[in-house]
Copies of this chain bind each other. A is one copy, B any other.
């Protein structure tokens, strides 16, 4: 028998395309066939408003430092420069009364990288729990690692614990019956746009503490929270430092989707057996990456200046206004909508008789509007559709008008 290099067979269990790549390809095909149609994109969750000048000026200045002998910098610390870790600790935590120190903050190039790679420090024998619908990265990366088991059509992967989020439970995941070791939670939620209140989140912290599980808490959308009783960080909940890792990003908060900067918080006291996860992730990061670009870290630092804060708040206010336009416009026209208050995402029920993908195709061909089919996020997303607030106000108004003109009862 010929010995042959073996590939990671888990990849064969993945859907052939990443969700947004599939959408891209359908949109591209349509617009080639119909070049006259103006396409309005409310699909992918990508920001569109320019960065505050304070941020780009900081980045330019840092770039210029690198062409001078006196200010040149080579490798930075793998876990990020202290100036940025301090700014995050101070602004995002201490000022909210949460005691997170700079050495509990790990700077990275994105929350997708961090949520996608965090599994590296855990055994492949753990049971993973995810919401359904869910951001595909949590599932796909666990499929690759071999934690997901086999795909059963219409049901999902047989080793993953799915926590259905439906209209009937207010799109809130319920404590699962089967034991779970690694629980992915994302609030405000992608894709449903629903936020979580403190007592509800406390249930999860209590469950994790009692069951020796870890919560992988994605707070990438915390800047969109408008209601006062919603936690911006899981570390606002007592006990969370003993069971949770938090992921945050400058992408949606500060318009950094093209600049690339995020961070992960692992409290020093977070421990399983004799192992401290802060140390373990530090070891993983220092072995598998060489830190984030210096000018990018200076840009992120500038987000915390008064000018930076004013700029990003103005941007978020615009996205909130777009979310309101979608939510209220569709509601008035008789559509069922959720989210959009503490989130840039509105989750709408598709008209009767359509599946999510049928509605996607129909909306694209009849109205030239692109959204994301709910079923792309999991079986319980079937019958729903995600619209994002990241386009311009003008296009958002136009898109809502086209949807209601084409599909309202």
What does the 1/0 interface line of A241-267 toward B look like (CB < 8 Å)?
Answer: 000000000010001011110000000
Number of copies of this chain that the complex holds = 2
Provide the residues of chain B in CB contact with A299, threshold 8 Å.
63
Q: Which of A281-339 contact B (CB under 8 A)?
A: 283-284, 286-296, 299
- With A63-B295, A144-B287, A283-B14 known as contacts, the answer to whether A75 contacts B46 (CB < 8 A) is yes
- Whether A268 sits at the interface, judged by CB under 8 Å, is no
- With A64-B56, A288-B113, A288-B116 known as contacts, the answer to whether A211 contacts B293 (CB < 8 A) is no
- Whether A353 sits at the interface, judged by CB under 8 Å, is no
Provide the residues of chain B in CB contact with A2, threshold 8 Å.
212
What does the 1/0 interface line of A100-142 toward B look like (CB < 8 Å)?
Answer: 0000000001101100110011111110000000001100110
A294 vs B292: C-alpha distance when bound (angstroms): 13
Closest Cβ of chain B to A19, distance in Å, is 10
Give the residue of B7, B46, B66 whose beta carbon is less than 8 angstroms from that of A280. B7
Give the residue of B6, B56, B287, B294 whose beta carbon is less than 8 angstroms from that of A125. B6
Closest-by-CB residue of B relative to A56 is B67
What does the 1/0 interface line of A39-72 toward B look like (CB < 8 Å)?
Answer: 0000010111111110111011001101111001
- Whether A273 sits at the interface, judged by CB under 8 Å, is yes
Provide the residues of chain B in CB contact with A140, threshold 8 Å.
287
The answer to whether A179 touches B11 (Cβ under 8 A) is: no
- Whether A275 sits at the interface, judged by CB under 8 Å, is yes
Give the residue of B59, B73, B76 whose beta carbon is less than 8 angstroms from that of A63. B59
Provide the residues of chain B in CB contact with A152, threshold 8 Å.
none
Give the total of A residues in contact with B, Cβ under 8 Å. Answer: 88
Point out residues on A near B: beta carbons under 8 Å: 2-9, 11-12, 14, 18, 21, 44, 46-53, 55-57, 59-60, 63-64, 66-69, 72-76, 109-110, 112-113, 116-117, 120-126, 136-137, 140-141, 144, 179, 181-182, 211-214, 251, 255, 257-260, 272-273, 275, 277, 280, 283-284, 286-296, 299
Additional pairs, 10, CB under 8 Å, beyond known A5-B126, A51-B72, A117-B288: A7-B272, A8-B124, A11-B284, A14-B283, A46-B74, A59-B60, A72-B258, A74-B257, A116-B287, A137-B287
